[in-house]
Amino acid sequence: MFNSYFSFQGHTMNPHYQVLFDKVPIGPVVAPNRFYQVPHASGMTEANPRVRAAFRGLKAEGGWGVVSTGAVSIHPSSDDSPLPYARLWDDNDIHAHALSCDAIHQHGALAAIELWHGGASVMNRSSRIAPYSPSGIGWAATHVGFMGQLRPKIMDTTDIQDVVRWQGQAAIRAKKAGFDIIYVYAGMGYLPYQFLISEYNRRDDAYGGSVANRVRFVHELIDATRDAVGDSCAVALRISLEELRAKPSNHFESEAHEVVSLLSEVPDLWDVKMDSSPTDCSASRFRPEGSHESIIDFVKQITNKPVVGVGRFTSPDTMTSQINRGILDLIGGARAGIADPFLPNKIKAGREDEIRECIGCNICISSWHDGVPVRCTQNATAGEEWRKNWHPEKFNRTSSEDRLLIIGAGPAGLEAALIAAKQGFQVTLSDQSKTMGGRLNFETALPGLSTWRRVIDYRLYALKQMNNVDLYSNSELSRDDILELGHERVVVATGAKWTKSLYSSLEIPVGELNQANVYTPDDIAAGIKINGPVLVYDFDNYYLGGVLAEKLAAQGLSVSYATPAGHASAWTIMTNEQPFVHQNLENAGIPVITQVLLQSHENETVGLANIFTEKLQQLAAKSVLIVGLRIPNDSLYQTLISNPNATLAAGIKSVDRIGDCLAPGAIVHAIYSGHDYARNLVTTRSDLYLRDIPIAVNPPGAVI
């Protein structure tokens, strides 16, 4: 059905990278190489077992030697709903997970499962069981999605024994499902972690006080797992070390050193990470590749067991360096493997220049917060492997001789051109600007966003290698030009434009502030110089308002930031960026004013009203930059479709629009829009996607 675009022929692997393909023993099993897809959320629960199996199996096909689940609950007392989480509570769950194991094993990889109890960090909204904790200390989250009003209970020894028993029972089920590596998860604020950290653990019994006592629960979970699976499965410990390394120890360099020393040879594998999602999975705006090294670099000096860690690794040179310097034994990947599941195979084939590198935007993490299957800016096929039968490296070939004209070489146009060309279409991509890339040419020059340039570079590089693609920059096309060019299909991808719309107490844009010294991001992109002091008024709520405030402050202007939301760049809490956004604004000397409406701009003064109380305040501002409403820049599209007889007479079969020209959104939406359009040129479906259903071998209420 598919033809592979990448043949992996005619190239040779760089011998410097050979170490990445060494086999690594992990207890009783052997990883076929050092590429380890660590546990990460996918948003695919037992409600979508086939979606999940295809998503995980594709990574094994792409060369990852170990492929893991995300967090899998061992008992209803670890209930994260309504966030998507996996379960291993009964035999129905065994059958659902077995699909993933089969898909992973089909390609020779090991399957790992991250067994998980969330303790006090989950609210148990569905199960209505009081959350468990060592000392009744609940997690006071700032993210509304994690907030709840049921406080945790203090575990007694029976509760501790129950959790240990549930871990063993879940391990038995995991073995039946076919997993090769079984995890104990002592990280990210979850229950075993809570026993390790003194702020959570205030017990005065055998499980509290000294580090040796606080580590006891984790040791018992590992022992219970090993007792349950025998010598057929490896037992892994995933542990967060950031807080522990910051704590002094009487006899060790830190409590992290002490914990690792006490457990050094107990698990078969150490999976080491940070403590919170913003630091563990930090966006590229704030942390470089390999940023975990300074926290986890000591572990291999203490244990003889293999160590895996992450760091948004995309460069094989960085990976090789970590192995050769004794930092890691296995290269962990989560986001990198979402962006390009075939990263290992491309390195092995000497095609590392074709890697679709993660840009570190963390849209994948926002998907989990949204409660949906994982999405990726770079890889539109993520989450659609089963639902739409999309493969990132294989494409149906067209039998059509239709020529395709794409007008606009932003993210949507670039993606549509690349996917259409891979399917065999003759593609012409035209853009009015001197440089292709659309909005990204401006945005990737802003503070912290240079890594996002990979969206352009990957696609332009691939397009320039193809003999069925013509690229024309600095080429503005009119309706008459298009009618004369002789293409059968026309796609308009001319983006969107920012407006000067204000925001109302109805929480919608209203009116416009059309007056001198009021600007939009388009003006900044065009190079217009503005005078300070400047108010950046942001109700777009994503990255751009905050980043533009930083840019203007770096130019020496006095800048203030205001928003009707409760935080600066409010939506970035979904992408783990919000704490660092506020830190950057503070460091740049930019005051943040929240929960306000911009009402007026007169005499170099703005009037701001509290969105709830209407209390007024005034602020000096010679210039106002509004980052709010975008509308499609679709005049060319509307002109083309206004006279269908003329387009038919010119031999044009279809005129479509994609990306921001269709519906303004984040870059991930533009890429998906372009990809979806191009795939549907060859394969059209009567339904939007296949609908997955749970596996229920045992009906509800059955005794199993």
The catalytic residue positions are 190
Is there a contact between 343 and 337 (Cβ–Cβ < 8 Å)?
A: yes
Is there a contact between 44 and 88 (Cβ–Cβ < 8 Å)?
A: no
List residues bridging with 66 in a β-sheet.
36, 110
Q: In 3-state terms, what secondary structure has residue 332?
A: strand
Q: In 3-state terms, what secondary structure has residue 650?
A: coil
Residues 398, 420: Cα–Cα separation, whole Å = 9
The type of residue at 329 is D
Q: Annotate 178-237 with DSSP letters as a single string.
A: T-SEEEEEE-TT-HHHHHHSTTT----STTSSSHHHHTHHHHHHHHHHHHHHTTSSEEEE
Query: CA-CA distances (angstroms) from residue 625 to 442, 520, 527?
Result: 16, 5, 14
Angle between helices 578-587 and 543-554 (to 10 degrees): 20
Q: In 3-state terms, what secondary structure has residue 161?
A: helix
Of 591, 596, 594, the C-alpha closest to 614 is: 596
Of 471, 261, 417, the C-alpha closest to 253 is: 261
The type of residue at 119 is G
Q: In 3-state terms, what secondary structure has residue 277?
A: helix
Is there a contact between 270 and 305 (Cβ–Cβ < 8 Å)?
A: yes
23: which residues sit within 8 A by CB, 6+ positions away? 30, 31, 32, 33
Query: 430-468 in b/e burial notation, b at 16+ Cβ within 10 A?
Result: bbeeeebbbbbbbbbebbbbebbbbbbebbbebbeeeeb
Q: Is 663 exposed, middle or buried (0-12, 13-18, 19+ CB in 10 A)?
A: middle
Of 416, 421, 422, 357, the C-alpha closest to 394 is: 422
Strands 616-620 and 605-610: antiparallel
Residues 270, 142: Cα–Cα separation, whole Å = 30
Q: Is 290 exposed, middle or buried (0-12, 13-18, 19+ CB in 10 A)?
A: buried
User: At CA 486, angle to CA 480 and CA 491, rounded to 5?
Assistant: 75
Residues 652, 643: Cα–Cα separation, whole Å = 12
SS (H, E, C) 69-108: EEEEECCCCCCCCCCCCEECCCHHHHHHHHHHHHHHHCCC
Query: CA-CA distances (angstroms) from residue 497 to 284, 455, 544?
Result: 26, 20, 14
Which conformational region is residue 178 in: left (phi greater than 0), alpha (psi within -120 to 50 degrees), or beta? left
Of 67, 92, 71, 88, the C-alpha closest to 80 is: 71
- The first and second tokens of residue 339, run together, are 């962006």
Query: CA-CA distances (angstroms) from residue 186 to 236, 244, 527, 540?
Result: 10, 12, 50, 37
